[in-house]
Amino acid sequence: MSETSTQQKRQLEKERQVCQAKLQNEDEDRERKATAAQNRNENEQTSHLAKDKAFKSLARMNETSYAYQREYAAEAQVIDLLKNTKLDFNLFEIIVQIICQV
């Protein structure tokens, strides 16, 4: 009878080890899934921030480009005025200041 009891104890120990291994595998699987979800969230946030920075940078570039276009248009107006009229230098400076303030 003690041999049967020993066999039962061994069988129970094997089953306990199998159950413990399953639980450990499940815990590790949950941990991997949680880490993957966290990484996805961080990647999405990083991507969103990068897109936001890119859009802001593009908007600044557009604003700068528009400012340069206005500046060049003002210069072109001054050049056209000079080509079509005979202005003295003081009058030229006044016109440039007025146009640059606009």
Return the ∠ at Cα 30 (arms to 28 and 35), rounded to 5°. Answer: 95
Alpha carbon distances (Å) from 47 to 15, 60, 62, 79, 86: 47, 20, 22, 47, 58
Q: Which pLDDT band holds residue 94 (cuts at 50, 70, 90)?
A: confident
**Residue whose token pair is 């016109």:** 95
Within 8 A by CB and 6+ apart from 95, the residues are: 78, 81, 87
Per the structure block, which two tokens stand in for 29?
A: 């699987």
pLDDT in tens, 12-59: 899 899 989 999 999 999 999 999 889 888 888 888 888 888 888 888
Give the pLDDT score at 77.
81
How many domains would you assign to the chain? 1
pLDDT tens digit sequence for 62-76: 888 888 888 788 778
Q: Using CA atoms, how far apart are residues 57 and 2, in angstroms rounded to an integer?
A: 81
pLDDT given at position 87: 59
